[in-house]
Amino acid sequence: MSATSTLRDVRPDQAAPIRGAGTQPFLVSKIVTTAVLVLGALYCLVPIAWVVIAATKSRAELFSTFTMAPGTGLFENIAELFAYEDGGFLRWAGNSLIYSGVGALACTIVSAAAGYGLAKYRFRGRAAMMGVLLAGVLVPGITLAIPQYMVLANLELANTYWSVLLPSVISPFAIYLSFIFAAASVPDEVIEAGRIDGAGEFRIFGQIGLRMMVPGLVTVFLLQFIGIWNNFMLPFIMLSDDRKFPLTMGLYMMLNRGASEAALYTLTITGAAISVIPLLALVLWLQRFWRLDLLSGGLKG
């Protein structure tokens, strides 16, 4: 057989690929993507690194040493911070834990029930409720702060713990996330099987629906906890008693006083660095739930 006929018999899909064809565009796109990710990581991490490093500096070192050079006053700063106003920082931290923990837990429960109901039941007005829910997701929370204050002031709940907790219970975004998780992770067949076995709707939701939604509800809880922990405007509008301030308000007050007392700058920076620790601990503790199979709750039930 001649070489010409042999080449003629080779099909196009059997031809050897040309070396380097398409490699260069792929390499360029990979480099660009990596560079963008690195820049984004630096944008997020550099401020955190600065806060952590600045927290180690004494008052004299804060403005006289290189920005990214560690200092020698970390433990002194921590001791002075905890002693500030007879433990004011610890009181603010406790308030933040109450606002964030109770508020996030209550919001998760309410959002789970509302999202499950919207995803698994068909009723008149459901489409209108979904439209209102999506509109609520698009409305910035800050626009509701003043109306919420007026309502709570009329109820004589302003400047109380309830004035920060109650607005945190209802979150359109959390309800929408719960709706998505319920629709994706709770099969209708499982619900029908529970009904056939004689289980009521509340039992099906509590023992089947919630278990299947655990990984998604962990996400809802974490997002709400972080959002309430970092919230500044709502406590700023609702509270006037510094004994009820969360960390955001307490550190803001310290920063304002730092204009006349330079020593408070180091304490404010140290407090900001310490305030990140609970969030990191919560993320590390909750990440194990994300590794669960979405159907593990139903299989174990």
Domain 77-300, CATH among 2.40.50.110, 1.10.10.10, 1.10.3720.10, 3.30.70.360: 1.10.3720.10
Q: Which of 217-226, 237-246, 255-264 has the lowest mean pLDDT?
A: 255-264
pLDDT of residue 69: 86
pLDDT of residue 292: 54
Among candidate residues 268, 82, 233, the one with its CA nearest the CA of residue 163: 233
Residues composing the chain: 301
pLDDT of residue 291: 59
Q: Average pLDDT, whole number, for the chain?
A: 84
Would you state the structure tokens that stand for residue 281, as one six-digit string?
């601990």
Long-range contacts of 60-68 (CB under 8 A, 24+ apart): 62/265, 62/266, 62/269
pLDDT in tens, 10-49: 455 555 555 555 567 778 888 888 999 999 999 988 888 8
Mean pLDDT of 99-127: 92
pLDDT of residue 20: 52
Collect all residues with Cβ–Cβ distance below 8 Å to 115 and sequence separation of at least 6.
175, 176, 177, 178, 179, 180, 181, 182
Per-residue confidence band for 134, with pLDDT thresholds at 50, 70 and 90: confident
What does the angle CA 91 – CA 105 – CA 207 come to, to the nearest 5 degrees?
Answer: 150
pLDDT of residue 301: 45
pTM listed for this prediction: 0.81
Mean pLDDT of 180-206: 88
